[in-house]
Structure 1
Amino acid sequence: MIRRRSIRSVLFATYSVIIALILSISLLLFYLWSSDTLRKQALDSISGTSRSVQEKLDFEIQKMDTVSQNILYSNLVKERFLVFTGKSPADEGLSPAENVTQATKELAEILVAANGPALPAQQINLYDFAGNMFGSGFDNRRAKVDLRGKSWYRAVMGENDGKVMTTPEIDEQLINVLPTSEEPYSISLLRLFSDRYNAPEGIVEVKQSLRNLFKGLNLSRQDRVIVYTDAGELIYPAGKGFDAERQSIRQFLAHPEGGTTENPETGEPELFQVSRSEYTGWNSAVIRPEKTFSAPLRTFTSLFVLFAACILLLAILLTYWAAQRITKPIARLHRFIKTTDLSGLASPAPIELSSGLNELDRLQLAFGKMGERLRYSMEQLMQAQKQQLQARMLALQSQMNPHFLYNTLATIGVMAEENMNREIVEMIENLSDLMRYISSDDASDVNLETELAHTEKFLRCVGFRYGSRLTYQIDSDPATRNIQTSKLIIQPLVENAVKYSTKAVPPWHIWVRVYSEGELWFAEVRDNGPGFEEGRLEEIRKSIEKIEQSGQTPSLKVEGMGLLNVYIRLKIMYGPRMSFHIENAPQGGAIVTIGGAQTPGGNDK
Structure 2
Amino acid sequence: MKKKNTLQSRLFKNYSFIMSLILILCFIILSFFYIHNEYRRMIDYLNTLTSSIANNIEQETDKLSNASMNTIYSKSLKSCMDNIDPQAPDWNLITEVNKVIGSIIGPYSTVSQINVYSIHNYMVGWGTFSISQPAVLTQQPWYKEVNALHGYKYIGLPSMNEEFNKINPYMKSRYYLSMYRMYYDSAYQPQGVVEVVQDCSIFFSYLDELCEDNPELSVQIINSGGDLIYPYKSHTSTPGYYKSVQEGTVYQNTGNIVYDENGNRLFLTWKGEEKSGWNILITQNTRYLFEKIYPFLLVFTGFLAAFLCASMYLCFHVAKNLMLPLNSLKTQLEKINLDEILSSDTSLLIDSQENTTAEIETLFEIYNDMYLSLKDSSESIINAKAEEARAKLFATQSMLKPHFLYNNLTNISIMAENNMTPQIITFCSNLCRYLRYISSDGLANVDIATELKYSVSYLDCMKIRYGDKLHYQLDIPDELKKIQIPKLTLQPLIENSLKYAFPNSPPWIIRIAAAMEDQFCCLSVSDNGIGFSEESLGTLIKQLDEIRHSKDIYSIEIGGLGIRNVFLRLLFMYGEKADLLITGSQNAGAKIVIKIPIGK
TM-score scaled by length of structure 2: 0.48
* Higher alpha-carbon Rg: 2
TM-score scaled by length of structure 1: 0.48
